[in-house]
Structures are given as structure tokens and as C-alpha cells.
Amino acid sequence: LAFRYCTELKDINLHDGITHIGERAFIYTGLTEITIPKGLTELSKQVFDSTPIKSIVIPDNIKIIRERAFDLCDNLETIVIGDGVTDIELCAFETWRPATVSVTLGKNVTTMGKNVFDGCTGTLTITGNIPYTPSSYSNYNDWLYGADFTEIVVADSVETIPDNAFNFLYNSLQKVSIGTGVKSIG
């Protein structure tokens, strides 16, 4: 909670030697952009929750994006998740106001929590694994629950689209582009 409620804080320079930023460190600040230090390996729970950040690039040094790290960042337009990220926890990019975003999911994400992109619309580009988080209610992919992506781009680097990959996007999905590397669709 180091800078919580510092609503006039618009800019911060973080050096690459920083190895830890605690939970909710920048919650409710006025940050509109942030460069993630190279010394970090994870983004803490709710670290940038409820900030007006417009664009975020998660560098390859980040392995885990904790629960609600960018929750209620309703101004997000671009999310690029680096190839180092393997785990994204519950509601990491959830928004309560429909937000049209361009999301690029890195090649090595294997574990996704529920409702990761809840409230997000726009384009989802997948460059590697298509994670599957089974729902306890039916055969849909729980990390997509609440998301309303209108377009899915599956990059050439993807080989398999698993069962139920995009099953829950039935009310919003309008366009799908499947890359030349895809050999199997579940």
C-alpha cells in the first residue's frame, strides 16, 4: 500500500534493480503508464488495481501475474503479455466497464485463473499455448468467462486449438483468424 490513494501520482520511474513490489502498492493512483522493472519476476496482487493505465507491456522477466494485478483498470487499450509469463491468476485484467482492448498472450502461458479478462472486448491474439481452465458448471473455458472478445487471432506459432478453447465467447465472437501452424482443432 506504499502509494495507495496518491491520485495525483501520474508518473513514476522504477529502476531495474527493484526485485519486489508489494500488494496494492499503486492501487488508486493516477498512473497512466508504467515500465515494469527488469528485476521483477512477478506482479503482486492488485499492484496496479484501479489505475488509469492505458497500455501495459509485461516483459519476459515476469513469470506470474497475481490476482487482480490490473483489476478495474478501465482505461486499458493495449495489453501485451510477454513470453516469460507462465501463470495469470484470477481476474488479473477484469474491468467493470466494457473496455475495448487489444490483448496479445505470450507463448508460454499455461495456467490461467478464472475471469482473467472479465469485461474486456476487442481482439485477443494468441501466440503460443491456448490455456484451458475448466469450469465447474459446463464445458467452457473459465479464464474467458465474462470476456466479450469480438475477434480472435491465432498466430502461426500455435499448433493446436484445444477442446472448448473459445466455447464461452458465443455471444460476442465475430471473427477468427487461424495461423498456418495450426494442425488440430478440438
Does the structure show a pLDDT above 90 at 184? yes
pTM of the shown model: 0.92
Q: What percent of the chain has pLDDT over 70?
A: 98
Does the structure show a pLDDT above 70 at 138? no
Complete DSSP assignment for 114-182? TTTTTTEEEEEEE-S-----B-SSSSSBGGGTT-EEEEEEE-TT--EE-TTTTGGGTTT--EEEE-TT-
Work out the pLDDT band at 103, boundaries 50, 70, 90: very high
Q: What is the pLDDT of residue 14?
A: 95
Does the structure show a pLDDT above 70 at 161? yes
- Give the residue-averaged pLDDT of 134-142: 74
Q: Which of 119-123, 129-133, 159-163, 179-183 has the lowest mean pLDDT?
A: 129-133
Look up residue 35 and give its three cell numbers: 515500465
Q: What is the pLDDT of the chain when averaged over all its residues?
A: 92
d(CA 9, CA 35): 15
- Give the residue-averaged pLDDT of 106-119: 92
pLDDT tens digits for range 20-49: 999 999 999 999 999 999 999 999 999 999
